[in-house]
Amino acid sequence: MQQPDTSPWQATAACAGLSPTVVFSRRGTEAAPALRACAVCPVSRECEATVAPAESWFDGVCAGRLWRNGRPVRPRRRRGEPAETPAGPAPSPLATAGGGRG
């Protein structure tokens, strides 16, 4: 079976030597090597423009993100890792619901 022709940018992609099972994985743990490669890839913009993951319902790693059915997958938090909080000051634990004294 012949390999499809590759564009010049594909040869310089950081994931070029990775197994397709890693690049096209749907699970973050299996896709971790491809995600690390994307973090230092010089052609991630070309990759995203060519693959068009949202339009093509892509599954796998593209442009530094894991995609499933054309949607970026949010990374899972590890146990004990705090949840993301919105920017801004935290409300005072002493504040009352009405803003006044009870």
Report yes or no on 89 lying in a domain. no
Q: Which pLDDT score is estimated for 4?
A: 55
Range of the domain at 54: 8-72
Q: Which pLDDT score is estimated for 9?
A: 86
pLDDT tier at 80 (50, 70, 90 boundaries)? Answer: low
Mean per-residue pLDDT of the chain:
80
- 25-51: pLDDT as tens digits: 989 999 999 999 999 999 999 999 999
**Residue 69 · residue 57 · CB < 8 Å:** yes
Separation of alpha carbons 93 and 99, rounded Å: 12
- Token look-up 């634990």 returns 93
Report the number of distinct structural domains present in the chain. Answer: 1
Report yes or no on 55 lying in a domain. yes
For residue 100, is pLDDT > 50?
A: yes
Q: Which pLDDT score is estimated for 5?
A: 59
